Amino acid sequence: MKLTLHRGAQEVGGSCVEISSGGSRILVDFGLPLDFDFTTDKIESCLPETVSKLLKQDDKSIDGVLLSHPHLDHYGLASQLPASVPIYCGKAAWDLMNATAQFTRNKIAVPQAKHFKSYQLFQIGDFAITPYLMDHSAFDSYGFHISSGGKNIFYSGDFRGHGRKSKLLKRLPDMLPPLDALLMEGTLVGHRVNEAHSSESELEEACVKVIEDTQGIVMVTTSSQNIDRLVTIFKAAKRCGRMFIIDFYTAEILETLKGYARLPNAEWPGIRVCYPQHLARHFEKEGLDAILERHRKNGIRWTRINELKSKIVMLVRPGFIWDLKRFMDLGKATWIYSMWPGYFERSDSLRRLKSFLEGGGVRYEYLHTSGHARLEDLETFVQKVSPKMLVPIHSFYPSQYQEHFENVRLLIDGEGLDL
């Protein structure tokens, strides 16, 4: 078996791993780099050169592609593959990718895919593959046990051990065979090692305290695809006797996923749907009127939100500024920011939202926990699994693995490794 890290050996995002054995070859993840600029960059320009050469070969050169979860830095380049190459991912993840493709302006195509289920073995060529559901901020995330020719590797994907599915990581080591190689993410290895990593339950308690201490409306900015976080905010709002207001985009995401888990949705008591003007106009322009209409029965007017502001927790995003200016009294309000703070450096629109709210005297609270594993959880996992070789991936500081783990093998992008 041979491993090649086409990208991701020395960065977070853009992961792409090739694994070959016998006469078979697969790719694991095929993502966009995090610094991809949708306004100027061309997607095809992000293909690693080694992968471009691979794709120029005959269509049978790649037997399949495994996608670990529905974040663009892991699936964003999959549409560049020949249509003859089979794509494999979780069914809920695929549904989420398609929903996202409808709503966003980046127009990343989602290829057709075959779907696997957690813990159920399947075959691609000479490879026997078992997906394992992982705890991550993306819904329906997986790691993969891949075996062929008597060799066993595990690809972690992105994961953590402090979310609402933390038990998954605790029991995983007992389910894996002895590993010849572990390809493990290390997003929080290095300068992000002290990033917020409380549990979702602890974060819920912190949200409750902030809500109870706020006399006006509580606004929360988080990703509508971070389902664990939506559950946390909903539970905190419910405990405080407040209504949870989501926009119709978030309502549609939750509608898409409600068949896979018992998740809050727009039809639940205590949840209502708002219609920010700029977002609604975008949906109308894109011909998504059916989505707008689908959630109107659970809608709430902005004037009513303002009347009930002391009894409301509401998701907000930069596109809400016009509605907030026109309809809302933000006196004694609190804004909870619940995403990675580094996004402020990358997003002009987030900075505008922050400037607008702070300029209006709105109290600011940073309440967040990472979607990636804490260093201590990485150390515990590696100790229990005890791989013959540990290969860093999805980390800006792979060399620092050697300070915390044994049997580390550092690679560079494009370098192959024979097991």
Q: What residue spans define the domains of the chain?
A: 2-192+371-418, 200-366
What amino acid is encoded at 120 in this protein? Q
Residue 274: count other Cβ atoms within 10 Å of its Cβ: 26
Q: What is the pLDDT of residue 105?
A: 67
Q: How far apart are CA 67 and CA 97, in angstroms?
A: 11
What amino acid is encoded at 409 in this protein? R
Residue 54: count other Cβ atoms within 10 Å of its Cβ: 18
Q: What is the DSSP code (8-state) at residue 163?
A: S
Q: What sign results for the dihedral spanned by CA atoms 52, 56, 62, 67?
A: positive
Beta bridge partners of 219: 314, 335
Residue 132's nearest CA partner among 84, 87, 182 is 182
Segment-wise mean pLDDT, segments of 10 residues, the chain, 419 residues:
94 94 94 79 76 67 94 91 92 93 77 96 97 96 97 97 95 98 96 82 97 98 95 98 96 94 94 94 87 94 97 96 96 96 89 96 96 95 98 96 96 94
What CATH number was assigned to the domain covering residues 200-366?
A: 3.40.50.10710
Residue 380's nearest CA partner among 99, 160, 56, 51 is 160
Beta bridge partners of 271: 244
Residue spans of alpha helices (H) in 65-140: 72-75, 91-103
What amino acid is encoded at 304 in this protein? R
Q: What is the pLDDT of residue 58?
A: 58
Burial label, 294 (beta-carbon count in 10 A; 0-12, 13-18, 19+): middle
Length of the chain, in residues = 419
Q: What is the pLDDT of residue 57?
A: 64
Q: What is the pLDDT of residue 122?
A: 98
Q: How far apart are CA 1 and CA 36, in angstroms?
A: 32
Residue pair 141/134 in contact by the 8 Å Cβ criterion: yes
Token reading at 262? 């018992």
Which distant-in-sequence residues (6+ apart) come within 8 Å of 106 by Cβ?
A: 38, 72
Which distant-in-sequence residues (6+ apart) come within 8 Å of 81 by Cβ?
A: 30, 55, 62, 65, 87, 111
Tally the C-alpha atoms within 13 A of residue 119's C-alpha that lie toward its C-beta: 5
Instruction: Look up the pTM and report it.
Output: 0.93
Q: How far apart are CA 330 and CA 334, in angstroms?
A: 8
2-192+371-418: which CATH number, 1.10.579.10, 3.60.15.10, 3.55.50.30, 3.30.390.10?
Answer: 3.60.15.10
